[in-house]
Amino acid sequence: MHIAFAASECVPFSKTGGLADVVGALPAALAAAGHEISVYLPRYRQTRLASPPILIDSITVPFDDQYRFCSILDGGKRAGVQFYFVDYPPYFDREGIYGDHAGDYPDNAERFTLFSRAALEASKALGVPQIFHCHDWQTALIPVLLRTQYVEDPAFRSVSTVFTIHNMGYQGQFPPDTVPLIMLPWDLLTMSKMEFFGNLNFLKGALVYSDYITTVSRKYSQEIQTAEYGFGLEGVLRDRAATVTGILNGVDYDEWSPEKDRFIAAKYSSSDLSGKKKCREDLLSSFGIIDSGLPVVGIVSRFVAQKGFDLISQISDRMVLEDMIVIALGTGELQYQEVFERLHRQFPQRVGIKIAYDNALAHKIEAGSDIFLMPSHYEPCGMNQIYSLKYGTVPIVRATGGLDDTIEPWDARSQKGTGFKFSEYNGESLLLTIKHALSSIRDKDSWQTLMRNGMAKDFSWTASAKEYIRVYERVRQLKTKPLTLSV
- pLDDT tens, residue order, the chain (487 aa): 999 999 999 989 998 888 998 999 999 999 999 999 999 999 999 998 989 999 999 999 999 999 999 999 999 999 999 999 999 999 999 999 999 888 999 999 999 999 999 999 999 999 999 999 999 999 999 999 999 999 999 999 999 999 999 999 999 999 999 999 999 999 999 999 999 999 999 999 999 999 999 999 999 999 999 999 999 999 999 999 999 999 999 998 988 999 999 999 999 999 999 999 999 999 999 999 999 999 999 999 989 999 999 999 999 999 999 999 999 999 889 999 999 999 999 999 999 999 988 989 999 999 999 999 999 999 999 999 999 999 999 999 999 999 999 999 999 999 999 999 999 999 999 999 999 999 999 999 999 999 999 999 999 999 999 999 999 999 998 854 444 444 4
Task: Return d(Cα 361, Cα 380) in angstroms, integer.
Answer: 24
Long-range contacts of 95-104 (CB under 8 A, 24+ apart): 95/45, 97/8, 97/9, 97/14, 97/16, 97/44, 97/46, 98/8, 98/16
Q: Tell me, what's the pLDDT at 480?
A: 47
Contact 247, 216 (CB under 8 A): yes
Task: Give the CATH architecture of domain 2-250+462-477.
Answer: 3-Layer(aba) Sandwich (3.40)
Task: Return d(Cα 278, Cα 2) in angstroms, integer.
Answer: 46
Choose among 197, 205, 216: nearest CA to 240.
205
The DSSP line for 420-484 is EEE-S-SHHHHHHHHHHHHHHTTSHHHHHHHHHHHHT---BHHHHHHHHHHHHHHHHHSPP----
Every domain of the chain and the residues it spans: 2-250+462-477, 274-458
Q: Tell me, what's the pLDDT at 50?
A: 87
Task: Return d(Cα 363, Cα 372) in angstroms, integer.
Answer: 12
Q: Tell me, what's the pLDDT at 487?
A: 43
What is the pTM assigned to this prediction? 0.89
> Which amino acid type is present at position 483?
L
Choose among 278, 284, 204, 132: nearest CA to 487.
204
Which CATH number is 274-458's, of 3.40.605.10, 3.40.50.300, 3.30.460.10, 3.40.50.2000? 3.40.50.2000
